[in-house]
Amino acid sequence: MAKIIKINNLYVRYFGSDKPVLKGLSLEIEEGEFVLLVGRTGSGKSTLLNVINGVIPNIISATVRGGSINVAGRDPRKTPVHEMAMVVGTVYQIPESQIFSLIVDDDVAFGLENRAIEPEEMRERVVESLKLVNLLHKMKHPTFLLSGGEKQRLVIAGVLAVKPRILILDEPTSMLDSIGAEQIFNLVKKLNDEGLTIIMSEHRVERVIGLVDRIIGLKDGAIYIDDEPHRAVAKDLTKLGVEEPQVTTLYRMINKNSDYYPISVDEFLELGIADKLDVVSRHKEDDGEIAISVNNVRFTYPGSAQEVLKGVNLAIHDGDVASVIGPNGSGKSTLMYLLAGIYKPSSGSIQIFNHDSAKLVGKDRVRLIGYVFQDPDQMLFSSTVKGELEFTLKLAGIHGREAEDRIRRVVNYLGINDLLSQSPHKLSVGGQRRLVSVASVLVAEPRILILDEPTRGLDNEMSTALMDLILTIKEERGMTLVMVTHNMRQVGEYSDKAFIMYDGKVAFSGTPEEVFEESHRHPEWGHFTTTGL
């Protein structure tokens, strides 16, 4: 088949930086291929994608040196971005930043109106694109009421409406829950089957590896791996800070020197080595004091008629790691808000270490329970990291020597000593800013720590490092962790107990193994199985 993208010896360097992001990268992609782009944050994935669609250097200034770039017969450096977009459609991470209208069909029409497509044809194309992404039934829906997955599908529809030949997706699911991500992956696969060339960068490798034709792994601005999936995993993706499928890891333990590794459970079972494995079930006894007990809690947001929590009951023991999982809108975040005392239950009660949570205010609460929000920017207020930590301590009523000690302790724990005088808003979005947001809660040394999707948007390596760090601190300080997450691997690896929220209730609770097993029978809970083993 014809090569649709040809890049030869590409160098890219941003202004104000002396190190190039891409160093002599050469690449050819065939029409109709499905390419997965992996690598650590900062390895140059986004830069490469933005060179292909011409955003670099036409919108984001950078020096692009070196050989030739040919995308469907055009040089994106010399073609206006909107013309390139007729050939290369691009979908970025945050769906909200790519939607401009209040109504679904208006948004799809936005790009077409700008290009002066005739109204008759425009209306046809809008319907066609919405059909493709399966949103036709929500044509007249307000955009801001769509779920994350639906919003991203709408973005894809808007991009597809101009009929591009290549679709670029830059971590399209990092802001979505499992159900939303699954929708995107299925859609992208369907589009690929219809002949569209796809280049996607993605951290959830395990979920997409079975769909793609080819994996390109970037390391420090150069191609490190470029191969068919089974052989690519054999070259050890973990070196690129990327998670590999669990079956691959298992297989590696048994057979170290193969050049062809299984990437799905079926393949693994076919190899006939599953019986060599012993399944070790770990079970932690429910002992110790009850840290959190939620009794028949119902909750409705003020000014709303819809009940969000419809009688939640749960108990979490001191020292446990509890995961709360479930699709978006099931009431997970609301439950966390209630635990953290941001809202009071409409009825029912919450006990935190035998204190009635409704009566727990101010300092007493801060010292008992800390809440790390999903997005670090949502909880950073000060112009320096130190100020941020002092702010928490002030609210917790801790002053003087004790405060100094605590700050020293927490920055040592998290290894952020050298960041103290920097502005938290200027730190790198992924790792450092997240660490500071965790530090700003940990500094009050609460007995319970709530983490709302602690690793969202982080690459695999950073996620693992962060989770290990938090668990070490948890062990040393004897904390209780409550974690809202969409990452089932984290649930399996770290938690003692998992709760499935569905439709405002705890639909099931048990050990992660029990939860995974039960969730097979309930597809509506979302896709909880990682590998099925």
Backbone angles phi, psi at 65, to 5 degrees: -110, 175
Query: Cβ 123 to another protein, closest distance in Å?
Result: 7
Residue 80 or 532 with smaller CB distance to another protein: 80
Token couple for 358 = 């409704």
The answer to whether the CB of 484 falls within 8 A of the CB of 333 is: yes
Instruction: Take residue 9 and report the two structure tokens written for it.
Output: 């010896």
Min dist CB 501 to another protein, Å, is 19
* Cβ atoms 23, 221 nearer than 8 A: yes
Q: Which residues contact 113 (CB under 8 A, 6 or more apart)?
A: 122
Whether 375 contacts 336, CB under 8 Å: no
51/62 Cα distance (integer angstroms): 10
Comparison of 145 and 254: residue with beta carbon closer to another protein: 145
Closest separation between CB of residue 200 and another protein, Å? Answer: 17
Instruction: For the CB of residue 426, give the shortest distance to another protein in the complex, in Å.
Output: 6
Alpha helices by DSSP H, 176-236: 178-193, 205-208, 229-234
* Whole-number Cα distances in Å, 246 to 41, 154, 163, 249, 253: 22, 32, 37, 5, 11
Are the C-beta atoms of 12 and 21 separated by less than 8 Å?
A: yes
Do 416 and 424 touch, CB atoms closer than 8 A?
no
Note the maximum CA span of the chain.
Answer: 73
Q: Nearest distance from residue 362's CB to another protein, in Å?
A: 6
Output 108 or 325, the one with its CB closest to another protein: 108
Pair 483, 451: CB distance under 8 Å: yes
- Give me the numbers of helices (H) and strands (E) for the chain, helices first please: 19, 20
Residues 480, 448: Cα–Cα separation, whole Å: 5
> In whole angstroms, how close is the CB of 438 to another protein at the nearest point?
13
* Choice between 114 and 296, CB closer to another protein: 114
In the complex, least distance from residue 308 CB atom to another protein, rounded to whole angstroms: 12
| Closest CB 114 distance from another protein, rounded Å | 4
Q: Specify the residue, 8 or 101, whose C-beta has the smaller distance to another protein.
A: 101
Nearer to another protein among residue 138 and residue 489 (C-beta): 138
Residue 442 and residue 435: Cα distance in Å, rounded? 10
Residue 26 or residue 101: which is nearer to another protein going by CB? 101
Q: Cα(20)–Cα(275) distance, rounded to whole angstroms?
A: 49
Residue whose CB is less far from another protein, 131 or 239: 131
